Chains A and B, each alone.
Chain A
Amino acid sequence: MKISYLWYRYSQAGLHRFSDDAERFRVKVMQQFLIICLVGSAIFGLFSLFIGKFDGTLFILLGMGMMLATYYISSRKSPRLSWHIILGFLAFQGLISPFLFKPAYSIASIYILYLLLVFFLFQERQIRRAYILGLGLCLVGCVVGTYFPPKPNFDLTVFLCSLMVQTMVFGASAFLWNLFFTQNESLQESIKMREASLKQAQTLSQIGSWEWDFQTHTFKTSEQFDKLFNLPPNHTVNVRAWSKENILEEQQAQFTTFVKNPEAKELDMLVPMDRQEGKKWYRFKFLALRDKRGLVKSMIGTVQDLTQQVEKDQAQAYAHSLAMATLESTADGILVTRGIDRSAQFNKQFLRIWNMPVELPQGGDNLSAIEYACTQVVNPEDFLATVKKMYSEPEKTRFDEVKLKDGRVIERYSKPLWVQGKLSGRVLSFRDVTQERKAKEKIAASERKYRTIFDNLKLGILVYNLEEQAFSDCNPSLIELFGGTSKDQVLALPKEQLVQMSFLRKLEDLMGRPEAINQTILARGITGQSQIQRVDQEKRTVDLSLLPSMGLKGAEILCLYKDITDDKKTEQALKTISQQVASIQRDGFEFFATLVQSMAEVLEVPYVLLGELVEGQPAIMAKAVWDNGTLLRDYYYPLVGTPCLNIIDQKRTQYYPQDIQKHFPTDEDLKTWNVESYLGLPLFNEDHEVIGHIAVLDTKPLDNPVFAENILQLYSSRASAELARYISSRALQESEERYKALFEHAFQGVLIYDQNKRKVISCNQKLADLFGMSRTAFQQKFGDRIIPSFQAINPTDPQSEVDIMLQIAEHGTVQFEGIHHSQVNHAFITEISYVKMEAPNDHLIAGIFHDITEKRKAEERVNELLSSLKHQNLALEDKVRNRTKRLSTSNAQLRQSNKELEQFAYVASHDLQEPLRMVGNFVQLLELEYSGQLDQEGKAYIKYAVDGVKRMEVLIHDLLDYSRMRRKNPEISETSIFSLIQRKLWDLQPLMEEKGVICEVEELPQRIKCASQQIGIVFQNLLQNAIKFNQSQPPVIKVGSYEEEDHFIFWVKDNGIGIDQADLIQIFEIFKRLHRKEEYPGTGIGLAICERIVRNHGGKIWAESAPGEGSTFYFSILKQLEYSSQLPEVSLSDT
């Protein structure tokens, strides 16, 4: 059992050190032996005590003590030592016994000693010695047993039997011993072998093992353990210190918990350790062996270096998370399916693209996701078909496009997933390409746009592909430029013919060099003038621009051509004209003549004309006309009916390419010259007024109208300037002449004095006449001074020539009066003015002498007359003043009386009401309080009285209104007549509804100036009357207006009872009634009020009517109404 237990332990953990265990085994055997001995000794001791042999007991006790000591030693030290002690003790006992007179004891001890020695020898594997000793012992025993105590006869039989028995006993015991040990040995052998293989296995698996005895605190480690932790063999480990140093605190705590938990048996820990080689991971397994109380007796365990595995795991985890991150970070939506239709993995972008709830693909089944996708796509049938196809051919890579309902376009790229050569699913990647599509479409649109430009541009464009070193494209303009018929034809032309090769090479060279400076040049391209040869060999001059470009097919060079051959021609023509014109001197006509001539030459036309607009007349004075080889000047013709008129009128170029005579059939010149085409430009002065025109005429359509126009345009400004100068110089000439005439024929004497020359350079006849001498004589007499002899009249005036000069120098001008004496000593007075002329003639001073002698005399006469008149005037003024005074008095009186009258009307109306009210109120009170005493008749009287009172009240009210029309100054304002009428109609609404009136308002002026309140009363009264005096069914009223020069006329028309012609005028009189009150109630003041108001507005009121045919009332209002001036002073008496 012990052995099987041990075996269990070994096989369980394979931990124990084999040699050690054998030692331990031996100790166990020894101890068990000793225990048997002790038990035996104890029995013998008790037995001897019982039979009274105390010495025997003592002896045995001594032996027992010895044995106990040996037991102790054997457990602690070597069992061999304990054997020696026991043997030594027995020998001592045997030797001592004879001296104690107990020879038997001695013999017994020696016998036992020998017996034990035999055992010892057996145990020590000294089998032979043990046998010899054992047999020797048997022999000695037999001899001693036979002869001692000495017996008288030797019985051989007994001796032999004894020997045989002893030998048999010995042999049996030896055999048994041997057997026992041999078995043990073989067991140990097998254990040893297993241990070895275990050790090897541990080494191979690199599992280290250890045993930790909690009682002895020994920590034993296996070789592999030492190797793992680089420990020297036969080391001792201080477990606590070691673990503290190497194991994390939390794991130590975990271990402590494990130890303390009585139920826990195993613990598995992965312990990271920082070792010299780097970070290491160890897997520790603990197996606790506990006693009955659950305390740990010992602990065994294994340790394994898992660093590689952990690192591998970590690397794997890293790779996994990297893969996941990659999956998530990609812009594509990715779905991985396992097998054929089970989704294994997908990223968020996938959900986002499809707007799919996360549960759908997570369900594992693809069907729900596909169903969902079907609701999203534009065409679910197609989508399903592609999905089916994809699954039916799982090994194929597919590329589809899915259009979603929300307008997005998604590309689906699906690829089979091969794992270890086996098809294990598909990877589907979805990409939202909506933007790309749009961008592509945009690019395509832009491409189309540029293509259109390319094809339609007037500029010739040729595309040179750098890679192919060939021209790849050109536009129609270029084909045209080269005179070709097709693109291929032109592109097939030799390069040199197509483009200036030096330009092309240079640009190519530049494009090959990426330096910044070259880039700048590149951006501008290369530009220059170049000659090309057309297909028909004609040479043309072009502006050539080469620009680098990045096309779809790699780098390209765009060659832009602009045909400037015609420009060249223009330039040449201009040069000709300029040269010819420049040689001309400033004389106007010369210029015009040369211009028209050279133009005719350059433009190859027979007729060129440059005309000046005659001032104030619709006619042209042609300054120069080139008439097919002849030069005409000052050719006058009227503008009417000529194409020139359009130029002048419209101030712009006129061009008639052909049939000009049909356009202007009355123009005789066109007929004479047989003109077919015409091109003319206006000429302007600085103020942009047309002063003339220049025109070319041809007997056939113009060869090159654009060219001709350019030439004309270019020279029109020069011609304009020349013409303007010509006109102004002529004007100057004319003005000079005018002034000369003025100078000569002026009523005043005039002289011009030159300050520099200090003499009069000119004087007119009048001045000489004033002094009664000839001009020459005057010049001789007064030629060297600024003023002829004079005397100043006023003391403040200049008294001398020097004074005059000083004043002129200071003020530029001087005026004074002087008395002169003529040659015949006739005195006369002149008013003298000196004026300094303006720069550059500021050295000249003009002096003007105005003879005022007669004027002075006349003045004196007038003064006399005036003083006599003054007297008469005073008398007259008195008269006027008196009259005015009287007038104003009477005016004031009139005003006073007017005012009083108004006051009277007001007060009267006012005070009239009071007694009236008394009457009315009390009559009613009477009715109320005495109704019981009144009969029907009495009540009727009261009714009449009350009616009368009420009518009287209305009358007074109207009268008050009427007087108020004058009493108050109405405020004139801009009024909308339409809204005014609307308001009045609204007020009359109940009445109108009662009678079912239809009212139509026709056209009215927007806003007029009037006293709106008063005009409102007019409309109200007229409308009221129109309703009141109306028995038609339904009554129809129309309102409208029309305009006269000064007045607005308004009218109100009804289909009422009408008015007799005879009454038409008096209806506007106050209190005038045409009907009985019972028929049509009213006061007869309404129309009078209207009349007054209208009169206040500077207008009239009248009516047109016939009985039974309705009436139309008109009234007018002054348009420019200013109240104060228009309000006539009217008094009540007027009415």
Chain B
Amino acid sequence: MKEYGVPVEILLIEDNEGDIVLTKKAFEREGYPCRISVCRNGYEALDHLYRRGKYGEALRPDLIIMDLNMPGISGQETLTEIKSDRSLASIPVIILTTSESQEDVQTCYQLQASSYIRKPVDFHEFREVIHRLQDYWFRVVKFPQQA
């Protein structure tokens, strides 16, 4: 749970513009204070997390939302990288993807993803999912203290 008034920092790793828009829309509509940074692929995401290059001023996210199928390094690889870094491993990673393959689900949880969510076809459902997500991550649970 984040203290009131301090927006939750979210890093969205997603290559599909449509999904970026949809996700942002869904988050906006819920009205929890949050700031969404977007990375289009795994490399960008890692740069952002390690504050490399143009991400020198980037804030450390409280929560990472990530797609699996991405150009360049895949979601799984990015996840592996994040979870193997001691300073980043504590950030919860939520997988938001089209894939409903059991293999993907298993792999992601083994790589210590915090949740695995399938993107619904229905936007109303999607909003419901995001609502639940926010409710859970922004209200119910406690984030790890920033190192």
CB distance A925 to B22 under 8 Å?
yes
- Is A950 in contact with B122, judged by CB distance below 8 angstroms? yes
Contacts of B124 in A (CB 8 A): 924
Given contacts A913-B121, A946-B122, A953-B121, contact A921 B98 (CB under 8 A): no
| Contact (A925, B16) CB under 8 Å given A910-B98, A910-B101 | no
A910 to B103, CA, bound (A): 13
The answer to whether B123 touches A921, judged by C-beta atoms less than 8 angstroms apart, is yes
Which residue among B101, B119, B123 has the maximum number of chain A CB atoms within 10 Å of its CB? B123
Partner of A925, one of B25, B69, B119, B121: B25
Binary A-proximity of B95-111 (CB < 8 A = 1, otherwise 0)? 00011010000000000
- Name the one of B22, B99, B101 contacting A921, with C-beta atoms under 8 angstroms: B22
B 34-78 binary contact with A (CB < 8 Å = 1; else 0): 000000000000000000000000000000000001000000000
Residues of B within 8 A of A910 (CB): 98-99, 101
Interface of chain A residues 900 through 957 with chain B (CB within 8 A): 910, 913-914, 916-918, 920-922, 924-925, 928, 946, 949-950, 953
Contacts A910-B101, A917-B121, A918-B18 aside, 4 further interface pairs with beta carbons under 8 A come to A914-B98, A917-B98, A918-B16, A922-B18
Within 8 A of A (CB), among B102-147: 119-124, 126
How far is it, in angstroms, between the C-alpha of A950 and the C-alpha of B121 when the chains are bound? 7
- Which residues of A have CB within 8 Å of B126? 921
Pair A949/B101 contact, Cβ less than 8 Å: no
Interface centre among B25, B69, B120, B122 (most CB of A within 10 A): B122
CB neighbours (8 Å) of B101 from chain A are 910
Task: Give complex CA distance A924, B18 in Å.
Answer: 13
Shortest B118–chain A CB gap in Å is: 10
Q: Could you list which residues of chain A lie within 8 angstroms of chain B, going by C-beta atoms?
A: 910, 913-914, 916-918, 920-922, 924-925, 928, 946, 949-950, 953
- A-B contact list, 14 entries, CB within 8 Å: A910-B99, A913-B121, A914-B16, A914-B69, A914-B98, A917-B119, A917-B120, A917-B121, A918-B18, A920-B121, A921-B122, A925-B22, A949-B121, A950-B122
- Centre residue among B18, B69, B124, B126 by max chain A CB count within 10 A: B18
Q: Please give, as numbers and ranges, the residues of chain B lying within 8 Å of A922 by CB-CB distance.
A: 18, 22, 123
Inter-chain contacts of B123 with A (CB < 8 A): 920-922, 924-925, 928
A957 to chain B, nearest CB (A): 8
For B98, list chain A residues within 8 Å (CB). Answer: 910, 913-914, 917
Q: Give A957's nearest chain B residue, CB to CB.
A: B100
B-side interface size class:
10 to 19
Contacts of B18 in A (CB 8 A): 918, 921-922
Quote the shortest CB–CB distance from A913 to chain B (angstroms): 5
Interface majority SS (helix, strand, loop, mixed), chain B: loop
* Measured CA separation A509–B16 after assembly (Å): 125
Shortest distance in angstroms between A233's beta carbon and chain B's nearest beta carbon? Answer: 121
**B22 to chain A: which residues have CB within 8 Å?**
921-922, 925
**Taking CB as reference atom, which chain B residue is nearest A910?**
B99
CB of A961 to closest CB in B, whole Å: 11
Q: Return the chain A residue nearest B101 by Cβ.
A: A910
B1-30 interface code vs A (CB 8 A; 1 in, 0 out):
000000000000000101100100100000
- Closest Cβ of chain A: how far from B76's Cβ, in Å? 15
List the A side residues contacting B16 at CB < 8 Å.
914, 918
Chain B positions within 8 Å of A928 at CB level: 123
Q: How many angstroms between the C-alpha atoms of A322 and B120 in the bound complex?
A: 105
Q: Given known contacts A914-B16, A918-B16, A918-B18, is B99 in contact with A924 (CB within 8 Å)?
A: no
With CB as the reference atom, state the residue of chain A lying closest to B126.
Answer: A921
User: What is the CA–CA distance of A924 and B126 in the complex, to the nearest angstrom?
Assistant: 11
CB distance from A33 to the nearest CB of B (A): 134
- Within the complex, what minimum Cβ distance (angstroms) separates A241 from chain B? 104
One of B25, B69, B99, B121 near A916 (C-beta < 8 A): B121
Closest 9 CB pairs of A and B: A924-B123, A921-B123, A920-B121, A918-B18, A953-B121, A917-B121, A914-B98, A913-B98, A921-B22
- For A925, the closest partner residue in chain B by CB is B123
> What's the nearest-Cβ distance from chain A to residue B17, in Å?
9
Q: Which of B69, B119, B122 contacts A924 (CB 8 A)?
A: B122
Complex interface: chain B residues within 8 A of A950 (CB)? 121-122
A720 to chain B, nearest CB (A): 76
* Shortest Cβ distance from residue B66 to the other chain A in the assembled complex, whole angstroms: 16
Look across to chain A and name the residue whose beta carbon is closest to the beta carbon of B120.
A917
Closest-CB distance, A2 to chain B (whole angstroms):
124
Chain B residues whose C-beta falls within 8 Å of the C-beta of A916 in the assembled complex: 121
Q: Nearest chain B CB to A942's CB is how many angstroms away?
A: 11
Q: Which residues of B contact A924 (CB under 8 A)?
A: 122-124
Taking a contact as CB atoms under 8 Å apart, the answer to whether B99 and A920 are in contact is no
Q: In the complex, how many angstroms separate the beta carbon of A1038 from the nearest chain B beta carbon?
A: 35
Residue of B nearest to A917 (CB): B121
> Whole-angstrom distance between the alpha carbons of A826 and B92 in the complex?
102
Q: How far is the CA of A914 from the CA of B120 in the complex (A)?
A: 10
> What is the minimal beta-carbon distance from B110 to any residue of chain A, in angstroms?
19
Task: Write out the residue numbers on chain A whose beta carbons fall within 8 Å of the beta carbon of B19.
Answer: 918
Q: How far is the CA of A913 from the CA of B69 in the complex (A)?
A: 13
- CA A918 to CA B124, docked complex, whole Å: 13
Q: With A and B bound together, what is the CA distance between A928 and B19 in angstroms?
A: 16
B-chain residues with CB within 8 Å of residue A925 when the two chains form the complex: 22, 25, 123
Closest to B119 in A: A917
Which B residues are CB-close (under 8 A) to A949?
Answer: 121
Taken together as a complex, chains A and B put the C-alpha atoms of A917 and B99 apart, in Å, by 12
Complex CA gap A928/B26 in Å reads 12
A920, A921, A922, A950: most-surrounded residue (chain B CB, <10 A)? A921
Closest to B99 in A: A910
B residues less than 8 Å from A921 (CB atoms): 18, 22, 121-123, 126
Docked CA distance A295–B98 (Å): 128
Complex Cα–Cα for A377 and B5 (A): 90
Q: Which residue of A lies closest to B25 (CB)?
A: A925
> Which of the listed residues A916, A917, A949 has the most CB atoms from chain B within 10 Å of its own CB?
A917
- Per the bound structure, the CA–CA distance linking A353 and B20 in Å amounts to 98
Q: Which of B25, B69, B122 is A920 in contact with, Cβ under 8 Å?
A: B122
Q: How far is the CB of B81 from chain A (nearest CB, A)?
A: 24
Q: How far is the CA of A928 from the CA of B25 in the complex (A)?
A: 11
- Give bound CA distance, A913 to B119, whole Å: 10
Residue of A nearest to B17 (CB): A918
Which of A922, A924, A950 neighbours the largest number of chain B CB atoms within 10 Å of its CB?
A924
Q: In whole Å, how far is A429's beta carbon from the nearest beta carbon of chain B?
A: 87
B 77-101 contacts with A by CB, 8 A: 98-99, 101
Least CB distance, A945 to chain B, in whole angstroms: 12
Q: Please give me the residue from chain B that is nearest to A926 by CB atom.
A: B123
How many whole Å from A965's CB to the nearest CB in chain B?
Answer: 15
Bound complex: CA A950 to CA B69 (Å): 22
**Chain A, Cβ-Cβ closest to B22:** A921
How far, in Å, is B120 (CB) from chain A's closest CB?
A: 8
Query: Given the complex of chains A and B, what is the CA–CA distance between A345 and B124 in angstroms?
Result: 100
Cβ distance B30 to chain A, nearest Cβ, rounded Å? 14
CB proximity of B19 to chain A, nearest CB, Å: 8
A924 vs B69: C-alpha distance when bound (angstroms): 24
Contacting residues, chain B, for A917 (C-beta < 8 A): 98, 119-121
Which of A914, A916, A922, A950 is the most central at the interface, judged by chain B CB atoms within 10 Å of its CB? A914
Bound-state Cα–Cα, A910 to B121, Å? 13
> For residue A952, which residue of chain B has the nearest CB?
B121
Taking the closest CB of chain A, its distance from the CB of B65, in whole angstroms, is 16
CA distance in complex: A925, B98 (Å): 18
Q: Give A917 to B125 CA distance when docked, in angstroms.
A: 12
- Rounded to whole angstroms, the CA-CA distance of A741 and B121 in the bound complex is 95
The residues of A that contact B120 with a CB separation of less than 8 Å are 917
Complex Cα–Cα for A953 and B119 (A): 12
| A974 to B: closest C-beta gap in Å | 24
Residues of B within 8 A of A946 (CB): 122
B99 CB contacts on chain A under 8 angstroms: 910
Cβ of A908 to closest chain B Cβ, rounded Å: 13
Tell me the complex Cα distance, A922–B25, Å: 11
Nearest B-chain residue to A918, judged by Cβ: B18
> Bound complex: CA of A342 vs CA of B73, how far in Å?
115
What is the distance, in angstroms, from B26's C-beta to the closest C-beta of chain A? 9
